Structure 1
């Protein structure tokens, strides 16, 4: 018989700390995406090319 290859971790979550950690990571990813999307809508008029605040949002998210 060929060995079974598992792509996903089949072990169930053992405690509530692991599950809360997963929800925390999901919340951080969602919040970071929302911040990035909102920052892309803010335009700073500069000559000759306007700039968005998206650059600063990426720098801020990189620090987290």
Structure 2
């Protein structure tokens, strides 16, 4: 489908970050640390958004190099 295998790898990383990030966060929030407050939730959300942003930037660089 794509000529550059790095693009496929980057797309897989982006999908994994988008899907697994909230799943892991949910498991930590409700199972491991049920007493977390809003500060921890906000920090977790910011870290997830940054991870998605970084993965998207890397994917766009790979896409342009294809």
TM-score under structure 2 length normalisation: 0.46
Structure of greater Rg? 1
Higher strand share: 1
Higher helix proportion (structure 1 or 2): 2
TM-score, reference length from structure 1: 0.48
Greater RCO (CA < 8 Å, at least 6 residues apart): 2
